[in-house]
Amino acid sequence: MHLQFLGAAGTVTGSKYLIRSGHNRLLVDCGLFQGFKPLRLRNWAEPPFKPKDVAAVVLTHAHIDHSGYLPVLVKKGFRGRIYCSEATADLCRIMLPDAARLAEEDAERANRRGYSKHKPALPLFTEKDAEAALERLVTVAYAHDFEPADGLRVRLAPAGHILGAATVRVSDGRVTLAFSGDLGRSHDSIMRAPEPMARADFLVVESTYGNRRHDPTDPETELGHVISRTVARGGTVVVPAFAVGRTQSLLLSIARLKAKKKIPRDLPVYLNSPMATDATEIYRRHRAEHRLNDKDCEAMWKVAKIVTSIEESKKLNMSREPKVIVAGSGMATGGRVIHHIAAFGPRPENTIVFAGYQAGGTRGAAMLGGAREVKIHGDYVPIHAEVVALGNLSAHADADELMAWLKAFEKAPRRTFVTHGEPAAADALRLRIQDELGWAVEVPDYLEEVELARGA
């Protein structure tokens, strides 16, 4: 086997790995690059492989930086199957069309207002492209071998993180290559812990938080403090939240805070994300993958008023009553939340709360870095609101949790490749693996290709 790193190398997005075995080509993940413009331009460039030559795709999970390039792949000639867990398929069916609608809306707005350098501005892919990709989904169960390409056997195992997230093991009968995907946390409030892996000849491990430990402060308590002080000064809390995972954690925490009277029980809470609404319903269908009981699911479902229309969303921006608005997207890269940031960001009584990882080059990273203005739809918007990061609400394993997962291996892999992290995070994890475990470990470069030989 040969492995080529087509994404998530030197960056935390664009997860994409090409496996060559004889005449077969298999992609593990097929995500979009996000953040800095040079990375985003890769989404528009011709891929460094021929999509029609790829036999199949295996997804670790549904987040857009792991699945969002699928519509482009199909548009460019891919005709194989896309294999994933059942919950991942359910989430892709709402996330990919939603991403397409946002891209089409952004292009239409740019053309109407004339702020794009492209004439005309076009979406990367359309809803029709997304539907074409969804037709190629094939669901597979955890802990069952399947053969997506001749001679390559694959098995998925639970990775925590979000519903349907999986680790992936690929074998050609001679060597075994494993991918951690995005690993969840040991004691996440919603998802079960990732399943340990016993062995693999070669391993690709994520490093999103490879140089950080999550704040041990109880995130629910901290969220309560943020909401209380914002309400006390008559402000609105705006939460850009990932529609899958963090939105559900936030809603459950808010429901519990209200029940304990830590925040006003009559405080209005709005969920302004149609996709998050659909995703929350999917949690009901996949009870075995998470820790929530019926009472938790009901509380999470009822605590927020669902915003269903653009008109209703606009009315929220005109209202000055204290409230909480949870809306996509988690890094403030698009969606309805950026309209709320434009409305509430300039006023100091308000608070913007980030509840997950913010990739470099995103609006979220800029605001957490102290930016006093951000560009939204061609205009610069001043940020005078309080900006807060609740890092302990992250769905990613931190550095210690990543090391604990690695220490469960019965035998060291022959080589370990650290990916899916900013350079400082990836190199910090590399050093810990090298020093604490004594493994052969490296951080691969974008487009680097390695041979996975039995005696390597």
Mean pLDDT of the chain: 92
Let me know the angle formed at the C-alpha of 255 by 270 and 263, rounded to the nearest 5 degrees: 85
Which top CATH class is 2-212+395-451? alpha beta
Q: What is the mean pLDDT of each run of 10 residues along the chain (456 residues)?
A: 97 97 95 94 96 98 96 98 97 92 86 81 95 98 96 97 96 96 91 95 97 88 95 96 78 93 95 73 84 82 86 92 89 87 97 88 92 92 95 86 98 97 97 98 98 78
pLDDT of residue 287: 84
Nearest alpha carbon to residue 429 among 404, 446, 452, 451:
404
Residue ranges per structural domain of the chain: 2-212+395-451, 219-393
449 forms beta bridges with 4
Is residue 242 classed exposed, middle or buried when 0-12, 13-18 and 19+ CB atoms within 10 A define those classes? buried
pLDDT (0 to 100) of residue 288:
87
Q: What 3-state class would DSSP assign to 448?
A: coil
- Integer-rounded Cα Rg, in Å, for the chain is 21
Residue 202 β-bridge partners: 177, 415
Query: Residue 47 has what pLDDT?
Result: 96
Write down the pLDDT at residue 356: 79
413 in Cβ contact with 405 (< 8 Å): no
Put the strands of the sheet holding 305-306 in their side by side order.
305-306, 269-272, 323-327, 236-240, 351-354, 386-389
User: Residue 45: which residues within 8 A CB-CB, separation 6 or more?
Assistant: none
Correct CATH for 219-393 of 1.10.10.60, 3.40.50.10890, 3.30.420.40, 3.10.180.10: 3.40.50.10890
Determine the pLDDT at residue 341: 96
State pTM to two decimals.
Answer: 0.90
